[in-house]
Amino acid sequence: MSFSQSSTEVVVIRYTDGQSFPLRRACVNVLKQTYQNWQMVVVNDGGGRDAVESVLRSFSSEFRGRLKKLHLPRPVGMVASLNFAILTSDSDYLVIHGADDSWDPGFLLERVEYLKDPRHDAYGGVTCSERAGLSSSFLFRRSVLDTIGLLNPRLASGDDPAFNARFFAHSQVGFISR
């Protein structure tokens, strides 16, 4: 499996199980980003399709073609859903927008610029979290997945210690203090 470069630089993955309020908040948050070369991939893990569609429809003009909807027919779990979103999207960088997240409008711009800086070529990702590993503050290069693989789909949440260990064994991770 090869995760090649794309014209879309960042894919923002948003998992949902059909709850409309957290999804609406995530859409507002992503749409406020100053960095614009992104696509939001919403993966609905067997939740209420009508509720998800209603929220996304209310933002359709603002997304301007930068929204991809994935409706799974039955629940498969968060991690399997995230992997599906990764495999069916195309970008240079990935980030997961969690249910309780709120990003500063410059969140994506700051992280993309950090990883594009030639001084940071060795970095596979960048975070501002003291908690090392996959989190909503962790933007990473998709190409790292060519070597380390995807998340463990048998896990209930995105907290995959083995994925994190593989990531850190393969790549350095930059830290932004804000």
Looking at the domain assignment, is residue 86 inside a domain? yes
* pLDDT at residue number 69: 97
* pLDDT at residue number 99: 78
* Distance linking the first and last C-alpha atoms of the chain: 34
* pLDDT at residue number 78: 92
Over the stretch 75-111, which tens digit does the pLDDT of each residue have?
999 999 999 999 999 999 999 998 788 899 999 999 9
Residue 130 pLDDT level (bands cut at 50, 70, 90): low
Looking at the domain assignment, is residue 74 inside a domain? yes
* pLDDT at residue number 128: 84
**71 pairs with which residues across the strands?**
44
Question: Domain containing 36 — which CATH number?
Answer: 3.90.550.10
Over the stretch 7-62, which tens digit does the pLDDT of each residue have?
899 999 999 998 888 999 999 999 999 999 999 999 999 999 999 999 999 999 99
Please determine, for residue 2, whether its predicted confidence score (pLDDT) is greater than 60.
Answer: no
Looking at the domain assignment, is residue 4 inside a domain? no
Structural tokens at position 30: 């992503």
**Entry pTM:** 0.92
Q: Which of residues 63 and 131 earns the better pLDDT score?
A: 63
What lies within 8 Å, CB to CB, of 120 at 6+ separation is 114, 126, 174
Task: Scan for tokens 């970008």, then name that residue.
Answer: 91
Looking at the domain assignment, is residue 72 inside a domain? yes
Looking at the domain assignment, is residue 113 inside a domain? yes
Looking at the domain assignment, is residue 111 inside a domain? yes
User: Strand pairing of 139-141 and 172-175?
Assistant: unpaired
Structural domain of residue 62, as residue ranges? 10-175
CB count within 10 Å of CB 103 equals: 18
Average pLDDT over residues 123-129: 89
Over the stretch 132-165, which tens digit does the pLDDT of each residue have?
566 778 999 999 999 999 999 988 777 788 998 9
Please determine, for residue 3, whether its predicted confidence score (pLDDT) is greater than 90.
Answer: no
User: What's the structural domain count of the chain?
Assistant: 1
Looking at the domain assignment, is residue 2 inside a domain? no
Query: Which amino acid appears at position 148 of this protein?
Result: I
Please determine, for residue 170, whether its predicted confidence score (pLDDT) is greater than 60.
Answer: yes
Q: What is the DSSP string of 1-55?
A: ------SS-EEEEEEESS-HHHHHHHHHHHHT-S---EEEEEEEES--HHHHHHH
Looking at the domain assignment, is residue 49 inside a domain? yes
